[in-house]
Amino acid sequence: MSDRVYLFVVGISILAALYLESNAMIYVVVVILFLEGFSGWTLPRITQKIRKKQLEPGLLKLSKIPRFNIESFLVLRLVLSSVVLASYVAVHEYNMDMLWFFPWFIGFAVLGAGVSGVCPVYLAIRWLGFK
C-alpha cells in the first residue's frame, strides 16, 4: 500500500464516519493517525515490509533541501488528526455549529489527495523544510 492509497482510505473513513455520525469511528481514525504520527510505524510502511516491496509515496513533492529531520508524512498525519479532532470536538461537544464544514472539508481534501496525488498540506509541510 502506498501513501497515496492510504490517504484515499483515510479520506473515505473520515467521510463515512461523518456521514454515519459515528463518534467512535471518527475517534478511532484520529487515534490511528496520532499513533502513526508519533511512533513512525505507519500502515503503508508495515504493509511494504510484509510484502518486501518498497513503493514511492505517489504524491507530488517539492525538491527542497530538508531543514528538519522529521518525515513530512508523519507531520501530515499529526496535522490531519489535530484539525479533524479539534473541529469535530468543537462542533459536537461545544455546539459551535458554524464549524461543521471543517471535518467534511478535510475528509474531501484527503480523499482528493489520494485520487489526484496532489496534497496542498503535504506540499506546504515539505516547503517548510520537513524531510
Work out the pLDDT band at 31, boundaries 50, 70, 90: very high
- In three-state secondary structure terms, 44 is helix
pLDDT for res 16: 93
pLDDT for res 63: 67
Whole-number Å distance between alpha carbons of 62 and 127? 7
What pTM was estimated for this model as a whole? Answer: 0.81
Q: Nearest to residue 79, comparing CAs of 110, 45, 48?
A: 110
Specify the DSSP element, H or E, that contains 123. Answer: helix 120-128
Query: Residue ranges per domain, the chain?
Result: 3-128
In this prediction, what percent of the chain has a pLDDT beyond 70?
Answer: 92
pLDDT for res 15: 92
pLDDT for res 13: 92
Q: Nearest to residue 87, comparing CAs of 68, 71, 101, 72?
A: 101
pLDDT for res 20: 92
